Amino acid sequence: MTRNELLDLYFMDARAKLIDLAAFLDRVDRGTGDADFRLAAFCEAMKELAGDQPTRAKEVLVSLSDPTSDPIEKSPGKGAVGAWPGKAN
């Protein structure tokens, strides 16, 4: 497909998602208390969107993922939180 065909097909959906992200960040900014690691991870992942390579989706996913390969002994919670709280060595 051409770029214009892709824009015709997907632009309005992407526009809506972008506005949703802006609204989410506005709500977080208006919230009280300190944010945890997820906000920092989210903001770092958004930096990947400014790139010009066609691997942005992969880079965003990798930036939010646990880069370690060693299993942990016990899960710290019941479910996934969507971002990795640690730092890779």
Residue 78: its pLDDT value, please?
Answer: 73
Contact 45, 60 (CB under 8 A): yes
Residue 81: its pLDDT value, please?
Answer: 84
CB atoms within 10 A of CB 39: 15
**The model's pTM:** 0.81
pLDDT tens profile 1-49: 999 999 999 999 999 999 999 999 999 999 999 999 999 999 999 999 9
Contact 56, 49 (CB under 8 A): yes
pLDDT tens profile 38-88: 999 999 999 999 989 999 999 999 999 989 888 888 877 777 788 988 754
Distance of CA 47 to the CA centre of its chain: 9
- Cα three-residue angle 49-64-55, rounded to 5 degrees: 40
